[in-house]
Structures are given as C-alpha cells and as structure tokens.
Amino acid sequence: MRRPRSVHKVEPVADSKLELLQGQRILITGAARGIGAALAERLASRGARLALIGLEPELLAAVAERCGEDTFVGECDVSQSTQVTAAIDAAAAALGGLDIVVANAGIATAGPLRTQDLRSWERVIETNLLGVMYTDRAALAHLEASRGYLLNIASAAASLRSPGLSAYCAAKAGVEALSDCLRVEVRPFGIQVGVAYFMVLNTDMVRDFERELPSLERGRRELPGVLRHTYPVTPAIDQLVAGIVTRRRRIAYPRWFLKTLAFRQLFASEVSERVAGRGVAHSLAEHERLVAERGARAISSTARTRALGGL
C-alpha cells in the first residue's frame, strides 16, 4: 500500500465551533465500519447524539457502545426504500428529531463492463446512488423541521474516471449531481446540502480490494503520482467534522482536490484517457483469464461485498 509522501494539512476548527456539535442529533448510514464508524465516534466525543444505520448489527452495536448509551441503532439495507424510511423515522422519533444526516453507505465492485458480473454492477448503483437518494428523501421532512444539514458522501471518482470502476464512478457522479440539484430545491425550506469527495482512503473496503482483487490494484499503480496513493482516514474525518460544523457545500480530503473540480474536463481529455488507459489491454486479458478460472462474480467483488450486498 503506497502512502502519500507529504502530509496534507487540515485547517483547525475553533473549539467554539466544535461546541456547536453538543446535543446535535446526527444520523449516519453505513456506520458499522470505515468512514461512518470513525465519524460517529468523533462526533460523539464532541457531545453529538447519534443514530447509526447499517447492515452489520454486531459491529453497529460495538460502535454504538463507544458512542454512548443513548445512541440509536437501526439495521437497514439502504437500497430498500421502505427500510430506509422506517429506520430514519424511528431514529428521528428516538432522538426527538434530526439536525444532520450523513448519507455514507456504499460498496464497490470492479471489472471491465464487457465481462463484469452484471448483478455486481447493478448492486453498486442500487446502494451508492439509489441508497443515497432514498436516505435524502426520507430525511427531508425531519431536516425541514430543524432547518438542518444533509451531507452526501461521494468520492473523487465523481470526476476522476478509472477503467474497471464504471459502476462506482457512475454512482458517485450521480451522488454529486443529486446533491447539487437537491441543494437548490430545498433551500426554501432552510435545509443545507453538502457533498464530500475523498481520494482512496485506508478503509476496510480498500484493503479488501487490495487483497482480493490484485488486478485492480495493479491498474491503480499505473496512475500518476497523487492518484495512486492510499490516504489516511483520520484527516479525512477531520475534514468531515469541520465541514459538518460549518455546513460546507463541498468537503474533500486531500483538500487540494476541490481545486481540481473547476478543471474536471481535463480528466476526460484525450491525453488523460491515454494515461488512464496504460495497461488496459493487459488488464482485460487478465480479467478474462480470472473470469474463466473463478467466475465473473468472484472477481467483480470482494467476499465482504458479496455477503453484504447479497451477491
């Protein structure tokens, strides 16, 4: 796993602003592990009251225990709209309302479209895009009542395209577009909307990919400089907390990524596509060989994703 050579500074947030989190009622989806769990624990340490939504009940219970005894826990598959609505309504009832909702739940699958397992591709859209939309829709009435803040977790993949990750990139680009549309729609109701972008972070999902889908990892190593690094989670959480406190429209780690958004068409230029396409022919041949050996589904997703996504 490659680490970034330089340390990316995180702008400090004044304690007086962090105090604003005290008593805030915050719901997080995908809270059993990774970004969701780390964010929940950080917010709880600042006095926030949490509702944790996810699929892994034992892990959710463990995170909830670390967040405080009044933490609400709801088991929910975000790709099922009725489950999402029921979980969010129950959380709002338990906490007496919601001030902030973080739509974080997501999965990843991989492979060239021509040979990737079709259900694995569909499952990413159902979870990462429809799941965010279901979360947003169910949360709006509660956030209108509190004039609250909705934060959707997208990814650098919303503007950076990567061969073999068509479903993930499509879903995250959709999350960004959804967030930008919704921000305008809900402004008259006093709701603010943010969207977060991260480069590759050192999470369970990324480590699973590196271990179980090495062909994708080899492709990432072909990318230039900063794009192939794996970044630490802690400063990303710092940025999320700072963004939640100040209700930012856009949050990113590393922060320099926000500056690239104005030039996103460069990432779709012919030159960029040539760079991204280095080694693609070899990757396609390797993927087809693995499909023949192990089956398309086994090499399109990790064991954990197959278990959680019902694949």
CATH of the domain at 126: 3.40.50.720
Give the per-residue pLDDT at 10. Answer: 53
What pLDDT is recorded for position 1?
A: 44
Alpha carbon distances (Å) from 241 to 13, 34, 155, 198, 247: 9, 15, 17, 14, 9
Q: Is 275 inside any structural domain?
A: yes
* Residue 237: per-residue pLDDT: 96
- Residue 225: pLDDT band (50, 70, 90) is low
Q: Which has the minimum average pLDDT: 82-86, 229-233, 267-271, 287-291?
A: 267-271
State mean pLDDT over 120-148: 97
Q: Which residue is it, tokens 């395209």?
A: 161
The pLDDT confidence band at residue 293, using thresholds 50, 70 and 90, is: confident
pLDDT one-digit tens code per residue, 1-26: 444 444 455 555 656 678 889 999 99
Q: How many CB atoms lie within 10 A of CB 60?
A: 24
Buried b (16+ CB within 10 A) or exposed e, 300-310: bbbebbbebbe
The average pLDDT across 263-292 equals 67
* Order of strands, sheet of 100-103, starting from the edge strand that comes earlier in the sequence: 72-75, 49-54, 25-29, 100-103, 149-153, 192-198, 250-253
Would you say residue 12 lies in a domain?
A: no
Say if CB 29 and CB 152 are below 8 A apart: no
Please state, in angstroms and rounded to a whole number, the distance separating the CA atoms of residues 53 and 88. Answer: 8
Higher pLDDT, 198 or 116: 198
Residue 162's pLDDT is what? 80
* Number of domains into which the chain is organized: 1
Note whether 219 and 163 are within 8 A (CB): yes
In a domain, 2, yes or no: no
Distance from C-alpha of 157 to C-alpha of 169, rounded to nearest angstrom? 5
Give the DSSP H or E segment for 254: none
Least confident of 26-35, 168-177, 237-246, 259-268: 259-268
In a domain, 24, yes or no: yes
Domain that includes residue 164, residue range = 20-256+264-309
Q: Which of 168, 197, 231, 253 is catalytic?
A: 168
The answer to whether 168 is a known catalytic residue is yes
Is 273 inside any structural domain? yes
CA dist., res. 132 & res. 54, Å (int): 13
- For residue range 175-222, list pLDDT tens digits in order: 999 999 999 999 999 999 999 999 988 787 777 777 677 656 555 565
Percent of the chain with pLDDT over 90: 61
Q: Are strands 25-29 and 49-54 parallel, antiparallel or unpaired?
A: parallel
Q: How confident is the model over 256-268, as a mean pLDDT? A: 82
Residue 133: pLDDT band with limits 50, 70, 90: very high
What integer pLDDT is reported at residue 6 of this predicted model?
42
Q: Is residue 140 part of a domain?
A: yes
Decide if 35 contacts 237 (C-beta within 8 A): yes
Asked whether residue 185 is assigned to any structural domain, the reply reads yes
Q: How many Cα atoms within 13 Å fall on the side-chain side of residue 237?
A: 18
Residue 4 lies in a domain: no
Predicted pLDDT at 122: 96
